[in-house]
A and B are shown apart, each in its own frame.
Chain A
Amino acid sequence: MQLFFKGENMAAQFDASATAFPSRRTILKTVGVGAAGLAGIPFLAACTGGSGPSATGSDSPGLTFGSGSSDDVPKRAYQAVTDAFTAKSGKKVTTNVVPHNDFQNKINSYLQGSPDDTFTWFAGYRMQYYAGKGLLAPIDDVWESIGANYSDALKKASTGPDGKMYFVPNYNYPWGFFYRKSLWAEKGYEVPETFDALKALATKMKADGIIPIGFADKDGWPAMGTFDYINMRLNGYQFHVDLCAHKESWDQQKVSAVFDTWAELLPFQDPAALGQTWQDAAKALEAKKTGMYLLGSFVTQQFTDPAVLADIGFFAFPEIAMEGRDAVEAPIDGLLLSKKGGENKAARDFMAFLGSAEAQDAYAAVDSSNIATAKGTDTSKFTPLNKACADTIANAKYISQFFDRDALPAMANNVMIPALQSFIKDGKMDVKNLEAQAKTLYAAQ
């Protein structure tokens, strides 16, 4: 275990140097060290295999918990959960917190080395990929006890490619349109139910001198939300999943239709999108410069003025052609059990505990910006906005995870970000090229 973390630190240092001063040499060094590091991992694992928590199955003294939730609030929230578990079961939880970017970037070597028994991760392709590679332990037995706490959509999102359960959801947050209720009341705008109504509303806003739809894509990923919603509303949830997993080709009419439909909306989205971050766009919404803004509910973190926060409304993406509003984009965060942790009974107990309303209330007591996933959690402190968000998720038949969680990370980061940014510029998309790139990248996995 110690050996592994030493290696982790070294790798972190090399990465840091590569980011700060990426001379040709450091780049090559990083590559080489990465490769050498990976090559070394089986040996490290072999050395340290015996030092982990005893894997006797029935009774172990405790478990290790790897957490990428390194920001102050979620870190304290997970601390509250582990404390509650220890108080309840008497089992000790050793938490290893890693800064979240590092945690995500090093997940490959982490899972192959000597990972913690349980660790924080995301639902979707990003979970299924590692389940498919046999790096995770299935937890069907845990789900037998916690299954009743979850909706079908959440259960579906926690299932691996082999039909077994792997994931315990903790919280999620929906994507949708946020707007200022006072502005809408003053101008007499109404929540659009259909895509045509949305366009009509946007036309009206434009005439009133307001940028209809706030938009920011300097960071590259926020535009994926618009793509996902139009895709799901046009082609359905299953098509979204299959397209993200590259079971469907990009080079087909259905995908072109998504971009054609989006092109109708593009003139209403903030033309300055490529130069601003989502925080900038949130400020524009607060200042009533934009009429509405499609983003995850984390946008409300930017509204520090309680009066403004109370004035924020939420509505789901309007229906277009298929499945009404059955699908909602609501990325789920939760826990996975590593292959090694699968043999530790205490780790399974901890997973089951996290799937209970009791644990999620302990979490939400510290971090109230998200919505607990288990049924029976305390909703008495919910604001009307929280409630609207929670209802949207509760009523959804399908929960998608956002493009960069549902698709291969390389496809999302290396292909979709530049492709969508160029689409925002000229409204054109070369789906043939998307398919050509997807083919190469998915084949490399």
Chain B
Amino acid sequence: MSSTARELIPPESREPEGAPGRTGRAKGGRVRRLSGRDKLVLSLMVGIPTLIELTLVWLPMLMSVGLSFTRWNGLDLGDIRPAGLDNYQFISQDYPPFWPAVQHNMLWLLFLALIATPLGLLLAVLLDQNIRGSKIYQSIFFAPVMLSLALIGIIWQLFYQRDNGLLNFLLGTAGTPQAVDWFGDSSVNIWAAMIAATWRHAGYVMLLYLAGLKGVDPSLKEAAAIDGANGYQTFFRVVFPAMRPINIVIVVITIIESLRAFDVVYVINRGTNGLEMLSALVIQNLVGEGQVIGVGSALAVVLLVISLVPIVFYLSRTFGKENKA
């Protein structure tokens, strides 16, 4: 802050006459006071983003927290009635999709953390070896991250369809009664959806790790090689720990992605029949005609509280370190 202020303030410009003493102090290395215009500029620069953040993030968040303790039909503001903890009681006791959704979010997290993220890392390491056509492979693996929702739906439909999908065709069961109904059978569709999610997530992780690998000082690798470390040792003992900042980002991204997992299940069947996810339930209850504002807000608050854990962890890691430095 103080360095910014020093750059911003030409002390003489405001009061060209009659304040030699003050100028003298400024020359001594410290700016004690900001002029009126400086204050204005600073408060605008800090104030506008703060205001945007307040109105677009904090206010709606606090409003949803507030609405989660009410009953409201969304029509007249006068119809808002206090409901205490009823909405929370409803989702935890009477709303059948809620607990399956929590379980599916956990499963999603485990799957992304144990399979999708390591897969992304593997791809990054392979593509970092300067193999021929590396850029093409990168584009291919990253493409799913950029595809639109509708396209993803079509692509996986072609793959998973029961009667003429590619997968059942390869298994030789297409068109027979033994054909697996990858999207309709609630015991397999969550796995089908998670594989589709992996397809996206791995590309994302790959790109971040590629950037991370480029940032690792090559002399570290050389030093390890000189010390006689083999490829595995160099990577796991030297390179991977050196990418610590990236690793933390990836952990947080993986957790957040699994909490807000939505698009894939939504295009399959709008998050019903074995594909319940918290985010899909929030949308179901808040958007559209089936709107139940109190219940939807309560679900959103549950999701928010769960999301806060990794966010707080991440922020305290990042800023805690900066303060020490």
A444–B61 touching, CB < 8 Å? no
Evaluate contact between A414 and B284: CB separation under 8 angstroms: yes
B125-183 interface (Cβ within 8 A of A): 148-149, 162, 181-183
Chain B residue numbers with a CB within 8 Å of A22 are 260, 262-263, 279, 282-283
User: What are the interface flags for A20-41 relative to B under an 8 Å C-beta threshold, 1 for contact and 0 otherwise?
Assistant: 1111110111111111101100
Does B46 interact with chain A (Cβ within 8 Å)? Answer: no
Main secondary structure of the interface of A (DSSP, over half): helix
Is A220 in contact with B295, judged by CB distance below 8 angstroms? no
Check B272 against A30 for contact (C-beta < 8 Å). Answer: no
Contact of B184 among A101, A274, A418 (CB under 8 A): A274
Is B186's beta carbon under 8 Å from chain A?
yes
How many of chain B's residues have a CB under 8 angstroms from any CB in A? Answer: 63
Q: Is B285 in contact with chain A by the CB < 8 A criterion?
A: yes
Nearest-CB residue, chain B, relative to A126? B289
Task: Tell me whether B313 is interfacial, beta carbon within 8 Å.
Answer: no
* B262 nearest in chain A by CB position: A22
Alpha-carbon distance between A445 and B96 when the two chains are bound, in angstroms:
21
- The yes or no answer to A409 lying at the interface (CB within 8 A) is yes
The answer to whether A410 and B291 touch across the interface, beta carbons within 8 angstroms, is: yes
Number of A interface residues in the complex (CB < 8 A): 55
B71 touches A31 (CB 8 A): no
Q: A105 touches which one: B64, B94, B287 (CB < 8 A)?
A: B287
The distance in angstroms between the C-alpha atoms of A21 and B266, with both chains bound, is 11
B292 CB-CB contact with A under 8 Å: yes
Indicate if the CB atoms of A409 and B185 lie closer than 8 Å: no
Q: Which candidate, B13-21, B104-112, B299-307, is the interface stretch facing chain A? A: B299-307
Q: With an 8 A cutoff between CB atoms, is B259 at the interface?
A: yes
Pick the residue among B63, B67, B149, B185 that contacts A20 (CB under 8 A): B149
Cβ 8 A contact of B71, one of A15, A108, A272, A443: A443
A54 within 8 A of B: no
Contact of A29 with B287 in the complex, beta carbons under 8 Å: no
Say yes or no for B77: interface residue by CB 8 A criterion.
yes
Choice from B57, B182, B290, B293 contacting A28 with Cβ under 8 Å? B57
Question: How distant is the Cα of A412 from the Cα of B182 in the complex, in angstroms?
Answer: 26
Residue numbers in A under 8 Å from B76 (CB-CB): 112
Nearest residue, chain A, Cβ from B306: A24
Cβ of A421 within 8 Å of any chain B Cβ, yes or no, is: yes
B118 at the interface (CB under 8 A from A): no
The residue on A at minimum CB distance from B77 is A39
Give complex CA distance A30, B74 in Å.
14
With A104-B289, A418-B97: A275-B183 Cβ-Cβ less than 8 Å: yes
- Closest residue of A by beta carbon distance from B161: A275
Interface residue B258 (Cβ < 8 Å from any Cβ of A): no
Give Cα A276 to B165, complex, Å: 13
Residues of chain B lying within 8 A (CB to CB) of residue A19: 149, 266, 283, 287
When C-beta atoms are compared, the residue in chain A nearest to B70 turns out to be A444
- The digit string for A102-137, where 1 denotes a CB below 8 A from any CB of B, is 001101100010000000000000000000010000
CB contacts (< 8 Å) of A257 on chain B: these are none
Contact status A444-B295, CB under 8 Å: yes
CA A2 to CA B38, docked complex, whole Å: 41
Binary contact readout A140-174 vs B (1 if CB under 8 angstroms, 0 otherwise): 00000000000000000000000000000000000
- Cβ B283 vs Cβ A27 within 8 A: yes
A325 to B288 CA separation, bound complex (whole angstroms): 34
B182: nearest chain-A partner, CB-CB:
A275
- Contact B186–A440 (Cβ < 8 Å): no
Distance between B80 CB and nearest chain A CB, rounded to angstroms: 10
A133: B residues at CB distance < 8 A: 75
Q: Which residues of A contact B289 (CB under 8 A)?
A: 104-105, 107, 409-410, 413
Chain B hits for A27, CB < 8 A? 279, 282-283, 286, 300, 303
Q: Of B64, B292, B303, which contacts A444 at CB under 8 A?
A: B292
The CA-CA distance from A410 to B288 in the complex, in Å, is 9
Would A417 and B57 be within 8 Å (CB), given that A31-B64, A275-B162 are in contact?
no
A24 engages B60 (CB within 8 Å): no
Q: How far in angstroms is the closest Cβ of chain B from A322?
A: 30
- Do residues B73 and A421 form an inter-chain contact, with CB atoms below 8 A? no
**Interface assignment of A419: CB less than 8 Å from any CB of chain B:** yes
- Determine whether the beta carbon of A413 is less than 8 Å from that of B96: no
**A123 CB, nearest partner CB in chain B, Å:** 16
> Assuming A30-B287, A38-B77, A275-B184, is B71 touching A444 (CB within 8 A)?
yes
Asked whether, in the complex, the Cβ of A445 is within 8 Å of the Cβ of B73, the reply is yes
Which one of A104, A275, A436 contacts B288 once the chains associate, using CB atoms below 8 Å? A104
Which residues of B lie under 8 Å from residue A198 when comparing CB positions? none
Which of chain A's residues have a CB closer than 8 A to the CB of B259? 24
Contacting residues, chain A, for B184 (C-beta < 8 A): 218, 272-276
> Chain B contacts of A101 at CB under 8 A?
288
The verdict on A32 contacting B75 (CB below 8 Å), with A15-B287, A274-B185 known, is no
A330–B95 Cα gap in the complex (Å)? 31
- The residue among B63, B184, B286 with the most chain A CB atoms within 10 A of its own CB is B184
A32-B63 CB under 8 A given contacts A27-B283, A27-B286, A413-B284: yes
Residues of B within 8 A of A1 (CB): none
Chain B residue with minimal CB distance to A439? B94
B292 to chain A, nearest CB (A): 5
Q: Which of A21, A220, A418, A422 has its CB near the most chain B CB atoms (within 10 A)? A: A418
Cα of A272 to Cα of B272 in the assembled complex, Å:
16
B120 close to A (CB within 8 Å): no
- State how many angstroms separate the Cβ of B87 from the closest Cβ of chain A: 8
Most B C-beta atoms less than 10 A away, residue of A31, A39, A105, A275: A275
A444 touches B72 (CB 8 A): yes
Interface on B for A, CB 8 Å cutoff?
56-57, 59-61, 63-64, 67, 71-77, 86, 90, 93-97, 148-149, 162, 181-186, 256, 259-260, 262-263, 266, 269-270, 272-273, 276, 279, 282-297, 300, 303-304, 307
Beyond the given A20-B263, A31-B293, A275-B181, please list 7 additional residue pairs across the A-B interface where CB-CB is below 8 A.
Answer: A15-B287, A23-B260, A27-B303, A31-B286, A272-B181, A417-B272, A440-B295
Can you list 12 contacts pairing A with B, beta carbon distance less than 8 Å? A25-B57, A27-B286, A28-B60, A30-B287, A36-B60, A107-B289, A275-B184, A413-B289, A418-B273, A436-B94, A444-B73, A445-B73
Q: Which 8 A-B pairs have the closest CB atoms?
A: A275-B184, A32-B60, A413-B290, A409-B289, A275-B181, A274-B184, A105-B288, A436-B94
